[in-house]
Amino acid sequence: MFNVILFTDTAEFATKTRGYGTHRLASHIRHNGYSCIVIDFASVIDYNTYKEILDLTVGPETLMVGYATNWMPFRLPGEEPHTMEPGRNGRRKSDAEQFDQLENSRYKGTLVTAFAHGDADVWMEYPKSLNPKLKLVLGGNKINMYLDSKLTDHFIMGYAETMTIDLLDSLSGKGKKRLFNRIIDHDHKAQAPVWDFRESKTTYTEYDFITPQEALSLEIGRGCRFKCTYCPYPLIGMKNVEDYLKYENVLREELLDNYNRWGTTRYYFMDDTFNDTVEKLQMVLNVTRSLPFKISFWCYLRVDLLAIHPEMIPMLKEMGLAQCYFGIETFHDKAGRAIGKGMNAKRKKETLKKCKECWGDSVSIQSGFIVGLPFESSDSIAETAAYLREPDCPIDIGWIFPLNIANGDHPITNHMYLSEFDRNYKEHGYRFDGEGNFLEWSKTDDTDIDSFKTAEAVAGKNDVTVSKRIYKGDFYKASLNHPILSNRELTMSMTDQEYMDLINSIDQSELFYETVMEQYFKPLMNKLRENNKHV
Ligand code: SF4
């Protein structure tokens, strides 16, 4: 039996990817002296499995059962969900087809679909039938979309480390009894000086059944010193990013521990900007040089910092860069300046070329481009698409998509992190016409992109012209239990045709189901049943 039970889902549907934030929180809860189990892959949990998990984990000592909203479907409270595909974020009605696909598959009637339909009450009643004193808590970055969940005792907003411990200390009597609002947000950036991020590790337990082919997520630093106008991340514009950078020995121990216990060598580095400083990269390089194994990783990079500090480029290769995402957003210089990414396009493109020359084809370079930024017209977007189509373009996978602004005056955006565009859209020339409209912006400027709809159409028209190079070492696909797919060294040595033939021969949704049933739920349930025999 556990003090805390946390449910979460795969961070990318139909791949075996752990919900990092929940495991980070669970590690912090355990570090503070409470027992905690994470139940992953909620999109596979049917009601009977859910009940049995709770029967085997909830006891008189249980203080809280939590549900992470991060990977639940996008929805508006009170409305039918726009998409049921777990892991999807902010999608629109056009995703109805995917919704149907999921509803007509084996994923119908799971914990995730119950929440998405707004009828999780019967699910949420069950833990309290076992222990009426425990608290039901929702956390994660979509709580605003699930505020109509009537039986939820508390919603915890944002980074939950310190607030969760405050709640548990009060419930357990370890700390002073405190009264908490239904929405708990008193330290939603987790910056109260009661813990030190630099000393924190995210640890997995014998209940997680981590397998070597999985890529685990890891934060080396938390927060970003930049402040791009379209960026809704909560910890941007931070002056003290050094105070949220892991100590070298802590990072080394975390990587070693994951390797020794689970055979882990693949990572998603979740830092908002992995290459913030040369000193940070040097620290990570020192760590990777000292390990008795090689890691490979995915991360977010800023190309302008690579232009200013070109010495970072070979450092990244040496430490094990495999895939990266550059949020370039635009090659229109004036639009770039308007969003806080003002380096001129020529220098950005030269730097991308240097990256490709140094990294070769073993590193997949991905980048996104936004349609609808101030001053940028459809002609400029067409030029970007033409660049992305060039046979020797250093960007392997480019996406062109419309600008998302959430109307900061709409009630749905309460308890949601907002970008500068979201909060002050009028100052940036955007408006929302019509009552209840919270995503469909309009603008009047010198460009031909005057609304979200136009941006969507221009983005769609150009995006389809951009071919995406096949990346045969994709971490997501390699996470599944398949003898060839999970072997990145083997798939990377295949021809594109061989790899595509392999992908086309696999039903990924079915493989995901089989993977998590065989590698996770079966051993987990056996272990929990075994534990209970000895109680
Ligand atoms: S877009 Fe990236 S660089 Fe800009 S503020 Fe957000 S996290 Fe920082």
pLDDT string in tens for the chain (535-residue length): 999 999 999 988 889 999 999 999 999 999 999 999 999 999 888 888 999 999 999 999 999 999 999 988 877 776 666 655 554 444 333 344 444 555 555 455 788 888 888 888 989 999 999 999 999 999 999 998 899 899 999 999 999 999 999 999 999 999 999 999 999 999 999 999 999 999 999 999 999 999 999 999 999 999 999 999 999 999 999 988 899 999 999 999 999 999 999 999 999 999 999 999 999 999 999 999 999 999 999 999 999 999 999 999 999 999 999 999 999 999 999 999 999 999 999 999 999 999 999 999 989 999 999 999 999 999 999 999 999 999 999 999 999 999 999 899 988 888 889 999 999 999 999 999 987 778 889 999 889 999 999 999 999 999 999 989 999 999 999 999 999 999 999 999 999 999 999 999 998 888 998 999 999 999 999 999 999 887 6
Given the CA of residue 225, which atom of ligand 1 is nearest to it? 8
d(CA 335, CA 473) in angstroms, rounded, equals 34
For residue 98, the model assigns a pLDDT of 44
Q: Do 420 and 361 contact (CB within 8 A), yes or no?
A: no
188 and 231 share one domain: no
Cα 203 to ligand 1 centre (Å): 27
d(CA 281, CA 248) in angstroms, rounded, equals 11
| Residue 227 Cβ contacting ligand 1 at under 6 Å | yes
| Residue 272 Cβ contacting ligand 1 at under 6 Å | yes
Given the CA of residue 224, which atom of ligand 1 is nearest to it? 8
Pocket test for ligand 1, best of 226, 277, 300, 422 (most atoms within 8 A of CB): 226
298 and 370 share one domain: yes
Residue 133, H or E segment: none
Cα 403 to ligand 1 centre (Å): 15
What's this model's pTM, rounded to 2 decimal places?
0.94
Cα 226 to ligand 1 centre (Å): 6
Question: What are 400's strand-pairing partners?
Answer: 369
Nearest 5°: CA angle at 111, between 107 and 116? Answer: 85
Could you tell me the two tokens for 244? 């949220």
Task: Read off the CATH number of the domain in which 394 is found.
Answer: 3.80.30.20
| Residue 306 Cβ contacting ligand 1 at under 6 Å | no
Question: What are 138's strand-pairing partners?
Answer: 67, 155
For residue 112, the model assigns a pLDDT of 85
Asked whether residue 43 is domain-assigned, the answer is yes
Q: Give phi and psi for 357, each to the nearest 5.
A: -60, -40
Task: Read off the CATH number of the domain in which 126 is found.
Answer: 3.40.50.2300
189 and 230 share one domain: no
Structural domain boundaries enclosing 242? 215-463
Pocket test for ligand 1, best of 222, 225, 227, 231 (most atoms within 8 A of CB): 231
| Residue 224 Cβ contacting ligand 1 at under 6 Å | yes
Q: Give phi and psi for 93, each to the nearest 5.
A: -60, -25
447 and 310 share one domain: yes
Given the CA of residue 231, which atom of ligand 1 is nearest to it? 6
d(CA 198, CA 220) in angstroms, rounded, equals 9
Token pair 């031909």 is found at: 448
179 and 73 share one domain: yes
Cα 272 to ligand 1 centre (Å): 6
| Residue 276 Cβ contacting ligand 1 at under 6 Å | no
220 and 191 share one domain: no
Q: How many CB atoms lie within 10 A of CB 391?
A: 5
| Residue 231 Cβ contacting ligand 1 at under 6 Å | yes
Largest CA distance in the chain: 73
Residues contacting 143, CB < 8 A, separation 6+: 69, 155, 156, 157, 183, 415
| Residue 228 Cβ contacting ligand 1 at under 6 Å | yes
Asked whether residue 420 is domain-assigned, the answer is yes
| Residue 302 Cβ contacting ligand 1 at under 6 Å | yes
Ligand 1: residue whose CA is nearest its atom 7: 272
Cα 224 to ligand 1 centre (Å): 6
Given the CA of residue 302, which atom of ligand 1 is nearest to it? 3
Asked whether residue 315 is domain-assigned, the answer is yes
What is the 3-class SS of 244-295, one letter each residue?
HECCHHHHHHHHHHHHHHHCCCEEEECCCCCCCCHHHHHHHHHHHHHCCCCC
Asked whether residue 179 is domain-assigned, the answer is yes
For residue 82, the model assigns a pLDDT of 62
| Residue 325 Cβ contacting ligand 1 at under 6 Å | no
Asked whether residue 154 is domain-assigned, the answer is yes
| Residue 298 Cβ contacting ligand 1 at under 6 Å | no
114 and 178 share one domain: yes
Token pair 């096949």 is found at: 470
Given the CA of residue 233, which atom of ligand 1 is nearest to it? 6
Distance of CA 448 to the CA centre of its chain: 33
Q: Give phi and psi for 507, each to the nearest 5.
A: -90, 100
Of the three residues 463, 481, 504, the one that is the final residue of a domain is 463
Could you tell me the two tokens for 305? 């910092």
Token pair 């998990």 is found at: 53
Of the three residues 463, 496, 518, the one that is the final residue of a domain is 463
| Residue 273 Cβ contacting ligand 1 at under 6 Å | yes
Ligand 1: residue whose CA is nearest its atom 6: 231
339 and 437 share one domain: yes
Asked whether residue 448 is domain-assigned, the answer is yes
Cα 307 to ligand 1 centre (Å): 17
58 and 165 share one domain: yes
Pocket test for ligand 1, best of 225, 230, 233, 330 (most atoms within 8 A of CB): 233
CA neighbours within 13 Å on the CB side: how many for 223? 19
Pocket test for ligand 1, best of 219, 228, 302, 339 (most atoms within 8 A of CB): 228
Asked whether residue 13 is domain-assigned, the answer is yes
263 and 164 share one domain: no
Cα 207 to ligand 1 centre (Å): 35
Cα 300 to ligand 1 centre (Å): 9
74 and 163 share one domain: yes
For residue 104, the model assigns a pLDDT of 55
What total of structural domains would you count in the chain?
A: 2
| Residue 419 Cβ contacting ligand 1 at under 6 Å | no
For residue 13, the model assigns a pLDDT of 82
Ligand 1: residue whose CA is nearest its atom 3: 226
For residue 114, the model assigns a pLDDT of 85
As a whole number of Å, the CA-based R_g of the chain is: 23
Asked whether residue 100 is domain-assigned, the answer is yes
Of the three residues 397, 432, 463, the one that is the final residue of a domain is 463
156 and 280 share one domain: no
Given the CA of residue 236, which atom of ligand 1 is nearest to it? 5
